[in-house]
Structure 1
Amino acid sequence: MPAIPVDLARNLVLAHFPQARAAWLGGSVALGTPTATSDLDITVLLAGPPAPYRESLNHEGWPVELFVQTEESVAHFRAAERVARRPATARLIGQSCILLDVDGSGEHLQEDCARELSEGPESLSEKELRAMRYEVTDLLDDLAGSHDANERLAIGVALWQATARLLLTANRRWLGGGKWLQRELVAFDQVGSTDFGRSLADGMRAIALGDVDPMTAVVIEVLDQVGGRLFEGFRASGPA
């Protein structure tokens, strides 16, 4: 990892949070996959006030995302994100470079978050799986029935996301947003020697050129792995 971003991040923490118990540099920079627009994702652990917050700023030419936390707020966000299967906090800490560790909490939380990431999310319930199969089936039918090019693109984006979520969660893999969803697909492919990340992206490119067949084929392949299409017989109960 380049030394300069790490040193900049550490100096920022020392200057602005002298009372910090620990701090981590996460995100693309820590993973060694930065782009020209990557920022420094810095999580800071405090013993108490101020209340947890997130702040965006610029520091010596770098955009910075600050996540100021306490142990209680870390636990709160990790629990909520486990339910959503999008472990943003666990990623920022578990896949990080430790910038500061005054009392051992930096290493302890890093190891705990890394363990959570490696264990994966809970299995989908049958109710969740049926709802996701229905969503993908419905979008697939919308794609097949649409004769408007712009509409097909919009449906294709939603179908790509829904299919990726179904594939990953059905296999007890974590989700992500934006580029992170694609990165999770790529990681899944690397483990299982599959090619869904490329196939779904190629399906989107084909939709843009007026051909829905490649996307249809890969979506059906995913559906067949989890029980097939689902429309007739699907029922979702409302609130009591």
Structure 2
Amino acid sequence: MSIAGFDTARKLVHERFPQARAAWLGGSTVLGTAPPTSDLDITVLLAGPPAPYRESLRYHRWPVELFVHTESSMEYFLATERTARKPTTLRLIGQTQILLDSDGSGAYLQEKCAALLAAGPEPLGVEELRAERYGLTDLLDDLVGSRDDDERLLIAFGLWRATAELVLTGHGRWMGSGKWLHRELASFDREAGTDYSHALARGVRSVAHGTIEPLVGIVTRALHEFGGPLFDGFKADGPG
């Protein structure tokens, strides 16, 4: 972890939020994966207004992302993100360094979020799995049928995301957005001895160079791990 980043984050919290109940520094700065352009992800817990809000700013030349919560707004985001299986707030509190803890809530919430992260998301339901298989099958058919290079590349990106999500949710793992989806898949590969993250990336690069077969192969492999392609017989109920 960057000592300069930690000290800067702590100064910001003491300067801007003297009445804060707790504050945490999370993200790649703490996890040790920060590139040169990385920002400081700071979550702050207040007793009330002006929370909740989010703000992006620069502080002592550091780019900063502020996530300012009340206890109720934090619980809302924790519940919503767990349902979506994308634990942004869980990570921003559970995988952190505590910057301030005036009432014990800093350590308590850090431990709670870390435990929820370790427990993983709710298992994928039968209908959810069928819907993911159907969506992935549809995208795969689009790729095979397309004759437009630009269209194929855009479909390939959709296949990368949908395949990663199927593999992760099908194995009871958290998902993510953007780079975090790739990182979650790479983490799964290391533990499971698979190569989905690299194979999918290679597949997308192959499509960019005019060859679809490597991507078709890895997507088909993932589909067969969870029951195979699905089109005939798929049915989804509309809203009640």
TM-score range, shorter chain: over 0.9
User: What amino acid is aligned across from residue 109 of structure 2 in structure 1?
Assistant: L
SS, match of residue 58 in structure 1: strand
* Whole-angstrom distance in 1 between the partners of 2:212 and 2:142: 11
* Whole-angstrom distance in 1 between the partners of 2:32 and 2:51: 31
SS, match of residue 140 in structure 1: helix
TM-score normalised by structure 1 residue count: 0.99
The aligned residue for residue 65 of structure 1 is 65
Matches within 5 A, 1:76-115: 76-115=76-115
CA contact (8 A) 2:5 2:40 kept: yes
> Deviation per CA, 1:125-182, whole angstroms, max 9, x where unpaired?
1110000000000000000011110000000000110010011001011111110000
The answer on 1:229 being equivalent to 2:229 is yes
Instruction: Please state how far the C-alpha of 1:72 moved relative to its aligned partner.
Output: 1.1
SS, match of residue 155 in structure 1: helix
The aligned residue for residue 220 of structure 1 is 220
> Deviation per CA, 1:67-116, whole angstroms, max 9, x where unpaired?
00111111110000011000110000001111111111101100100011
SS, match of residue 76 in structure 1: helix
Can you give the 5+ residue segments of structure 2 that lack an aligned partner in the other structure? none
The aligned residue for residue 182 of structure 2 is 182
CA contact (8 A) 2:223 2:229 kept: yes
CA contact (8 A) 2:2 2:30 kept: no
* Runs of 4+ that moved beyond 4 A: none
TM-score normalised by structure 2 residue count: 0.99
* Whole-angstrom distance in 2 between the partners of 1:22 and 1:191: 34
SS, match of residue 6 in structure 1: helix
Instruction: Please state how far the C-alpha of 1:2 moved relative to its aligned partner.
Output: 1.8
Matches within 5 A, 1:132-171: 132-171=132-171
Percent identity of the aligned residues? 60
SS, match of residue 235 in structure 1: coil
SS, match of residue 67 in structure 1: strand
User: What amino acid is aligned across from residue 85 of structure 1 in structure 2?
Assistant: R
Can you give the 5+ residue segments of structure 1 that lack an aligned partner in the other structure? none
CA contact (8 A) 2:137 2:229 kept: yes
The aligned residue for residue 209 of structure 1 is 209
